[in-house]
C-alpha cells in the first residue's frame, strides 16, 4: 500500500483563512520534508522537519513520529499560497531514499 498519504487531496480557501494539511506515513522514518510546487513549476523546500515543530513566517510544520504524521499549517492564507504542497519522507533504513505523497492542491480565492 501507499506509504505516504496526504490529505485533503484538494482545498479551496478564501483569502485570510487558515489551512491544515496532513501527511500520514505507514513506516518508520529518518526524516520528513515539505515542499511547495507552483503549477508547471519546480519544487521549493519549505521545511526539513524530522520531528517536533518548526516555524517559517506564516507556515508551521509539526511532525509527531509516534503517531506517524506530519502537518503543515498555513495561517492567514494569501492568493500567492495557491499551488500544490507535497510531503516526502526518508524511510528508516533506506538511507537517503525519499518517497513523496501525491500532494494537496490548494487554491486561495480573493
Partner 1 sequence: EAAVTQSPRNKVAVTGGKVTLSCNQTNNHNNMYWYRQDTGHGLRLIHYSYGAGSTEKGDIPDGYKASRPSQENFSLILELATPSQTSVYFCASGGWGQINERLFFGHGTKLSVL
Residues lying near partner 1 in the complex (CB under 8 A) are found at: 30-31, 33, 35, 41-45, 48, 86, 88, 90, 95-103
User: Smaller CB distance to partner 1: residue 3 or 82?
Assistant: 3
CB of 4 to partner 1, least distance (A): 9
Q: For residue 87, give the nearest of 72, 65, 109 by alpha carbon.
A: 72
105: helix, strand or coil: strand
User: Smaller CB distance to partner 1: residue 83 or 101?
Assistant: 101
Distance (Å, whole) CA 8 – CA 23 = 9
- Cell numbers for 53, please give them: 515543530
User: Smaller CB distance to partner 1: residue 16 or 93?
Assistant: 93
Distance (Å, whole) CA 11 – CA 99 = 22
User: Smaller CB distance to partner 1: residue 74 or 86?
Assistant: 86
CB of 75 to partner 1, least distance (A): 22
CB of 94 to partner 1, least distance (A): 9
Pairing of strands 104-109, 43-48: unpaired
CB of 26 to partner 1, least distance (A): 15
Q: For residue 26, give the nearest of 67, 68, 66 by alpha carbon.
A: 68
Amino acid at each position: 500500500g501507499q506509504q505516504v498519504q496526504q490529505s485533503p487531496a484538494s482545498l479551496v480557501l478564501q483569502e485570510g483563512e487558515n489551512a491544515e494539511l496532513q501527511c500520514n506515513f505507514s513506516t518508520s522514518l529518518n526524516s520528513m520534508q515539505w515542499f511547495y510546487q507552483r503549477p508547471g513549476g519546480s519544487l521549493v523546500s519549505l521545511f526539513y522537519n524530522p520531528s517536533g515543530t518548526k516555524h517559517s513566517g506564516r507556515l508551521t510544520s509539526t511532525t509527531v513520529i509516534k503517531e506517524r504524521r506530519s502537518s503543515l499549517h498555513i495561517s492567514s492564507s494569501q492568493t500567492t499560497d495557491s499551488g500544490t504542497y507535497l510531503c516526502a519522507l526518508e524511510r528508516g533504513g533506506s538511507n537517503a531514499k525519499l518517497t513523496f505523497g501525491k500532494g494537496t492542491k490548494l487554491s486561495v480565492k480573493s
